[in-house]
Amino acid sequence: MICQRELDKIIQNETLALRVRRVLIERSNAFPSLQLTARLFHMTPRTLHRKLQDEGTSYRALLDDVRCALAMEHLKSDRLSVQEIGFTLGYTDMANFRRAFKRWQGLAPTDFRQSQLTLRSPHPPR
């Protein structure tokens, strides 16, 4: 009972942006739209937009942040191809994924992956 009350307090003190971010991560296999996300929080899309704006962010910015974080993790793991990662993150066009990643990190996904593999390698190339 006490634990549940403490957990409820923590959840109530979380920002809406953090809660939306959590929903996006939990549903990363098929990111929910702004409309669906608003419904999950029992508000209209306009209200969700306004409240996120009051917190200094937007649904699009949160989605970009989550996609960027997931893309970096996938690239570091080296289990999926760049194309598979783009598709997993909801990009139907690889050029759009590459442009977005370059905007996020300043380099192409393949260059990022190579830099991560070089960092992990016990013997860097000469």
The residues spanned by each domain of the chain are 2-120
pLDDT digits (tens, 9 = 90+) for 92-104: 999 999 999 999 9
pLDDT digits (tens, 9 = 90+) for 58-74: 999 999 999 999 999 99
Distances (CA, A) of 2 to 9, 12, 13, 122: 11, 15, 17, 49
At 15, the pLDDT band (50, 70, 90 cuts) reads very high
Architecture per CATH, domain 2-120, reads as Orthogonal Bundle (1.10)
Q: What is the pTM of this model?
A: 0.81
pLDDT digits (tens, 9 = 90+) for 20-58: 999 999 999 899 999 999 999 999 999 999 999 999 999
Torsions phi, psi for 28 (to 5 deg): -70, -15
Task: Please name the residue ranges forming H helices in the chain.
Answer: 2-13, 16-26, 34-40, 45-54, 59-77, 82-88, 94-105, 109-120
